[in-house]
């Protein structure tokens, strides 16, 4: 999943207009949609590692089990961060849309006042 980390490296930065932030959210959602596939691949790799442990010396087994545990932890941490980023982007979009609506409203009000 390291390629996914690279793909969304700057997504959590909520800068730009609502369209730019919506594009970031869409990109993040694509990553989130692929998490099941990533989890399946991780589970498969971990199972292979566990299977290899039966043929390896005890000293190597501990190292492999630590790596498997760390891979699971890293994956879960990455998923949690993506979900937090998604929520932050959704909140940012809602705020921006509200702000843009207020700007339009105030612009119309100002235009009406200028015409009087």
What are the pLDDT digits (tens) for 64-105? 899 999 999 999 999 999 999 999 999 989 998 899 899 999
Domain ranges within the chain, ordered by starting residue: 1-32+39-115
Percentage of the chain beyond pLDDT 90 is 47
> Is the separation of the CB atoms in 87 and 21 below 8 Å?
no
pLDDT of residue 33: 92
pTM score? 0.77
Task: Dump pLDDT digits (tens) for 28-65.
Answer: 999 899 888 889 999 999 999 889 888 888 888 888 89
| pLDDT for position 5 | 74
Residue 8 DSSP one-character state: T
The CB-based long-range contact list for 88-92 (8 Å cut-off, 24+ gap) reads 88/12, 88/14, 89/11, 89/12, 89/14, 89/21, 89/24, 89/25, 89/28, 90/25, 92/14, 92/21
């Amino acid at each position: 999943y390291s390629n996914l980390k690279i793909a969304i490296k700057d997504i959590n930065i909520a800068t730009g207009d609502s369209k730019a932030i919506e594009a970031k959210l869409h990109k993040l959602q694509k990553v989130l949609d692929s998490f099941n596939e990533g989890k399946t691949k991780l589970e498969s790799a971990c199972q292979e590692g566990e299977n290899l442990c039966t043929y390896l010396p005890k000293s190597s087994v501990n190292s492999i089990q630590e790596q498997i545990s760390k891979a699971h932890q890293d994956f879960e941490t990455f998923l949690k961060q993506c979900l937090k980023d998604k929520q932050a982007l959704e909140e940012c979009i809602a705020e921006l849309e509200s702000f843009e609506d207020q700007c339009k409203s105030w612009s119309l009000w100002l235009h009406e006042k200028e015409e009087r």
